[in-house]
Structure 1
Amino acid sequence: MAVGSGPSLRLRLAGTLAAVVLVNVALLAVLAWGIHTVLTIADVGTGTETGLVADLSASLPVVAGALVLAAILLVLAQARYGYRRVLASVDATPVSGDGDDPDGLTERVRRLALAADVPEPTVATVDAEDPNSFTVDDGRHATVVVTTGLLETLSDDELDAVLAHEIAHLVNRDATVATVVATISAISDSLFAREKRLGEWIRLLMAIGWHGSVIMLIVAGPVLLLCLAFVLVSGVARLVLAVNGICTGLHAQAREYAADSAAAELVGDPTALAAALETLDGDYPHEDARERDRDRLHASATLGIVPRSIRSVVPDAESESTKSSISQWLPSDDLYGGGWMNENFIVYRAFGRLGRALEWRPATHPPTEARIRRLIESAGDGRGSRVRSDGS
């Protein structure tokens, strides 16, 4: 069956890879510049001439080429690392198909992969209540992951449509790029967790020092060091988040729309996937909206068929909260609604906007309603959002 991505998605994926390579080049260039600076200072300090500094300066084209090659190799390493980390973070268990596959996942995926003319991926399950699925690929190995909650929630036709969506990511060759971007997202998530811990230590030491000038002098040094570390980690975290936002914005929505379209063609029924998406989007077990958004940077949320992290039986402590530590120290504009400090008071409005900006996270998926609408339109059925695989 002829399914695949269009030129627009391929261009977006190429742009995403180029952006990741450029970021890696920049990081490696900073590292090389640091080494070059240290060697220069060493030459000046010792009064000796090693010749290495001069050689580096005279062969800039060679150094630039080496940086680009190293950056490409780093992307491959990121894909491999991301592949393993994502599977480990959700405690995914491979399905062998020898008696431990009551839902016939292996056979379903094998049939869809054969129809799509792609190598059969490994299938794994996660013991988690949240219904979701995703595909990871390191360029050599691919794994389709589904949760037990997904298997319990969807009908057979809807499950086939979801699995076809995951196979479509392999057809469109976007799973490897998405895995690399998800790795960047996970790094940002980890940095925000460390920022939060540093902020907690700073507040604790300042609270201890508040009880006396002598104690304040004792804790002043550690507080200063922690503040410097906080600024560094916070800056790097937001830089990584910005890179993640750019890379995600380049391809995320296009890749989901393309996978939806290819999946509908694979199963021959767009309404089955539309029904599955509506079920998955509305069947979130947590009532608090902030709870739903707290770990959007987790790789399983970036890669999932819906933007929701998979909470496995082995939770990731670093993903408990990505709320900015800085925003917790800023006054909220919601607190100043009366008197002269009303909502138009410019200082508190600015603080409120800054706090919200610090908690910004990139959108990893197009709106589910838009995806459902496109699928229904492709089926020539505009009756509404509540559709089922039997067309009712």
Structure 2
Amino acid sequence: MSGRSRWSLRLRLVGTLTILVLVATGVLAVVAWALFAVASALGLTGSSAEAGTPLPLAGGTVVLAACLLLLVHGRYGYRRTLESVDARPVEDGDPHGLRERVRRFALAAGVEEPSVAVADTDEPTTFTVSNGTDATVVVTTGALETLSADELEAVLAHEVAHLANRDATVATVAATIGSISEGLFARERRLGEWIRFLLTIGSVTIVLALVAIPIVVLSAFYLLVSVLARTVLAINAISVGFHARAREYAADRAGAELVGDPAALASALQTLDGAGPPNEDARRRSHASATLGIVPYALGERTDADLLEESSLSRWIPDADSELDRAEFVAVLSRLFGRIGRALEWRPATHPPVEKRIERLRNMSRERVRTVETG
């Protein structure tokens, strides 16, 4: 990677960290404000609270807490990502020579040798996860079965290139920070279930007076959590998008230089892109394994605790293909609601188009051939 490209990537990574700190600061500030508002409403704050806390001190405390949150989250997110895909470390018995190949590329790139793990799943992909001190290259059994020897070699070089470019740690934090919005979406679903339950029992007139206040309070929290979850998701999308394309292009180029064969990496990308799930749900692509992967395939099954679960808010939106389409004016509203529902389930793109990556690598291969011929 050229010096200009290297500095461009590093500036993008710094920008990503800045955005993440702002996201964490905003989340903590909103949570602190909500807790203080509830405590004040219940009369739990003492007279000393009336004087208030100096704004600079309060702001500095929240920013420091946000930085600590990201630090802890980076350490925790590393382990959580590996556990979420059930990645098993490669120790004895390495028929594909993964450890030896990674060791060789790490030595050539001048970086500390990462661990290597295999995830037993059909999705053909690889990714590198790092917490700043430890790093692991994960390869799926689907990738081992799909890629040729030369393609596997090129893919491993691509993963080591992420470490050489020093983007793996920032990308890991950016990918796993989505768990904040993931947790908020899970709480949104629970609040939605409680609201529906109260509305159901409130349909009995005599009970309505008893549940009216809880419904109002839960609805207020529901809206707060929904807005906060989507705000975090949107800002995190900006942070991921700010560096994602640059980091993948940089790793493609550096990986091709490490393996010495850009065409092999181009072939690997084409193979992986064609062998993956034909209808991968966009919501699944926000999973850490998809965000970090050489191609955006999420590993593992959907669970109720995942961000990948359909948002409870979208359940309140009528489907655009419902029977309401019979009347023209209702059809317009139905299409509008359908668009809103799809917008609520929007997830950011985490990778540049595979076609563009392949074209860049093929151009790089042609340049190498011309250099050899003219040299």
Does the C-alpha gap of structure 1 residues 221 and 70 become closer, same or farther in structure 2, counting only changes over 3 Å? closer
Task: Tell me, yes or no, if structure 1 residue 159 matches structure 2 residue 146.
Answer: no
1:340 aligns with 2:340: no
Distance 1:331 1:265, change over 3 A: same
Match among 305, 310, 319 for residue 306 of structure 2: 319
Tell me the percent identity: 56
Q: In 2, are the aligned partners of 1:124 and 1:144 still within 8 Å (CA)?
A: yes
Q: Distance in 2 between matches of 1:339 and 1:33?
A: 46
Contact 1:136–1:144 (CA<8 Å) still a contact in 2? yes
Q: Deviations over 1:311-349 (max 9, x none)?
A: 27xx65423843222222222334465553376x3x344
In the alignment, the residues of structure 2 paired with residue 192 and residue 39 of structure 1 have an alpha-carbon distance, to the nearest angstrom, of 24
- The answer to whether structure 1 residue 85 and structure 2 residue 80 are counterparts is yes
Q: Distance in 2 between matches of 1:18 and 1:369?
A: 31
Is contact 2:179–2:307 with CA below 8 Å preserved after alignment? no
Q: 1:205 to 1:281 in 2, by over 3 A?
A: farther
Match of 1:386 in 2: none
Q: Which residue of 2 aligns with 1:388?
A: none
Question: Partner amino acid for 2:261?
Answer: D
Q: Which runs of 5+ in 1 are unaligned?
A: 382-392
Query: Which structure has more helix as a fraction of its residues?
Result: 2
1:380 aligns with 2:366: yes
Cα RMSD (Å): 3.4
Secondary structure (helix, strand or coil) at the match of 1:136 reads strand
**Contact (CA 8 Å) 1:89, 1:316: kept in 2 or not?**
no
Instruction: Tell me the equivalent position of 2:107.
Output: 114
Question: CA offset at residue 296 of structure 1?
Answer: 1.8
Per-residue CA deviation, residues 24-81 of structure 1 (Å, 9 max, x unaligned), is 333444566678889999999866x69x957x42xx5555555444433332212111
Cα distance in 1 between the residues matched to 2:45 and 2:119: 58
Provide the C-alpha distance between the structure 2 equivalents of 1:142 and 1:45, rounded to a whole number of angstroms.
46
Cα-to-partner distance string for 1:58-117 (whole Å, 9 max, x where unaligned): xx5555555444433332212111111111111111112x2x222111111100101111
Match of 2:352 among 366, 377, 383: 366
Deviation at 1:9, TM superposition (A): 1.1
Shift of residue 180, structure 1, vs aligned partner: 0.9
Match of 1:255 among 247, 256, 260: 247
For residues 203 and 243 of structure 1, the distance between their equivalents in structure 2, rounded to whole angstroms, comes to 30
Match of 1:173 in 2: 166
- Relative to 1, partners in 2 of residues 1:42 and 1:325: Cα closer, same or farther, differing over 3 Å? closer
Aligned-residue offset at 1:354: 1.6
Distance in 2 of aligned mates of 1:89 and 1:249:
23
- 1:200 Cα offset (Å): 4.1
Seen in structure 2, the aligned counterparts of structure 1 residues 339 and 227 have a Cα distance that, compared at 3 Å, is closer
1:19 maps to which residue? 19
> How far is 1:230 from its partner?
2.6
User: Quick one: distance in 2 between partners of 1:348 and 1:143?
Assistant: 47
1:271 is matched with 263
2: distance between equivalents of 1:33 and 1:225? 16
**In 2, Cα distance between the equivalents of 1:310 and 1:180?**
18
1:333–1:352 Cα contact (<8 Å) kept: yes
In structure 1, the partner of 2:294 is 305
1:3/1:170 CA distance change after superposition, 3 Å: farther
Q: Secondary structure at the match of 2:234?
A: helix
CA deviation map 1:219-270 (0-9, x unaligned): 6565445434432321221121012111112111111111111111111111
Q: What is the aligned partner in structure 2 of residue 356 from structure 1?
A: 342
Q: 1:201-240 maps to which residues of 2 (within 5 A)?
A: 201-207=194-200, 209-210=202-203, 212-214=204-206, 220=212, 223-240=215-232
| Cα distance change of structure 1 residues 41 and 246 upon mapping to structure 2, 3 Å threshold | same
Name structure 2 gaps, 5 residues minimum.
368-375
> For residue 68 of structure 2, what is the amino acid of its counterpart?
L
Going from structure 1 to structure 2, the CA distance change for 1:317 and 1:368 (only over 3 Å counts) comes to: same
- Write the mapping of 1:64-83 to structure 2, written as runs, cut at 5 A: 64-83=59-78
* Contact 1:186–1:297, Cα closer than 8 Å, also in 2: no
CA contact (8 A) 1:2 1:116 kept: no
- Cα distance in 1 for partners of 2:307, 2:61 equals 39
Q: How does 1:23-34 map to 2 (within 5 A)?
A: 23-30=23-30
Structure 1 pair 43/201, CA: closer, same or farther in 2 (3 Å)?
closer
Aligned partners of 1:3 and 1:265 also within 8 Å: no
1:282 aligns with one of 265, 274, 279 = 274
TM-score (norm 2): 0.85
Between the aligned partners of 2:43 and 2:300, the Cα distance in structure 1 is 54
Count of paired positions: 366
Q: Which amino acid is the alignment partner of residue 266 of structure 1? A: L
Task: State TM-score, norm by structure 1.
Answer: 0.81
Name the CA shift for 1:350/1:33 in 2 (closer, same or farther; >3 Å).
closer
8 Å CA contact 1:4, 1:262 repeated in 2 = no
